[in-house]
Amino acid sequence: MRPVLCIRNDRDDTLGISAAVLGEHGLPIVRLDAFDARAAWPDLEEISGLVVFGGEMNVDQVDRYPHLLTQRRLMWSAVEAGLPVLGICLGAQMLARALDARVYRGPIRELGFKPVRITEAGRRDPLLGAFTSGDRVFQWHEDTFDLPGGAELLAAGDDVPTQAFRFGTRAWGVQFHFEVDRAGVEAWLRAAEPSLKRVWNRSAEDVRGELQTHLEAQQERSRKVFRAFAEFVQTPTARS
């Protein structure tokens, strides 16, 4: 079977639980480091699905990070071709931008576990239906985006309204980091430690305390999300 392409935009990103869960369902993955100038970008015909992960840059910083434009075009082409597409955090913002939505600095910076509200469309969604209103999900972002035209809002937040959407039947953008594991968050904390308090008004110990309380429950739901995504990849025409 053709692999799922998993794109990293952050050198410290572990991809969380995604690789393990997709692997459990028989899906091979290929990891591509977008920031590596030597990265070999595959053609759509070589992959069966696309997952784009987070990063600290803004989606429109294409002069500084030209690989963002490459990804945006790839995501749009994958949507057009009917491949399952999943964008997480920066990946969700890039999917929104590829669909001509505005991406901009949010009203607040979000770091830590925040509650979300699942819409009626979200409750019916095969992926986001794994979550229920009031569930706390891990956030680490400062940008947000408008809901793309023709997309359905699946999850909303009190401070940052657009938290998850679906475009068509096979493309999802999720602002929050439902994929994370403890090792991945620890790597981000180490990288951000010098500016964590000043920029994010949080301490590493605050975040670790929230991980202890909320991570296990999030991962249980997140495994359901990745399992559902795997089903879309393995049955490409069943739900289109």
177 flagged as catalytic = yes
**65 found inside a domain:** yes
How many structural domains is the chain composed of?
1
Q: Is residue 239 part of a domain?
A: no
pLDDT (tens, 9 = 90+) of the chain, 240 residues, equals 899 999 999 999 999 999 999 999 999 999 999 999 999 999 999 999 999 999 999 999 999 999 999 999 999 999 999 999 999 999 999 999 999 999 999 999 999 999 999 999 999 999 999 999 999 999 999 999 999 999 999 999 999 999 999 999 999 999 999 999 999 999 999 999 888 999 999 999 999 999 999 999 999 999 999 999 999 999 866 433
- Tell me 148's DSSP state: P
Does residue 226 come out as left (phi exceeding 0), alpha (psi in the -120 to 50 range) or beta?
alpha
Is 26 part of any domain? yes
Q: What is the DSSP string of 19-44?
A: HHHHHHTT--EEEEETT-TT--PPPG
d(CA 191, CA 212): 20
The Cβ of residue 168 has, within 10 Å, a number of other Cβ atoms equal to 15
pLDDT of residue 237: 61
Any domain includes 240: no
Classify residue 224: in a domain, yes or no.
yes
Question: Which residue range(s) make up the domain with 213?
Answer: 4-234
- pLDDT value at position 236? 66
CATH number of the domain bearing residue 17: 3.40.50.880
Q: What is the pLDDT of residue 71?
A: 96
Beta bridge partners of 140: 111
What is the number of other CB atoms lying within 10 angstroms of the CB of residue 81?
Answer: 12
In a domain, 64, yes or no: yes
Dist CA 223 CA 234 (whole Å): 16
Cα radius of gyration (the chain): 16
Asked if the structure places residue 131 within a domain, the reply is yes
Q: Among residues 89, 110, 152, 210, which one is catalytic?
A: 89
Question: Residue length, the chain?
Answer: 240
* 89 catalytic per annotation: yes
Q: Is 151 contained in some domain?
A: yes
Determine which one of 110, 141, 177, 210 is catalytic.
177
Please state the φ and ψ torsions of residue 125, each to the nearest 5 degrees: -70, 135
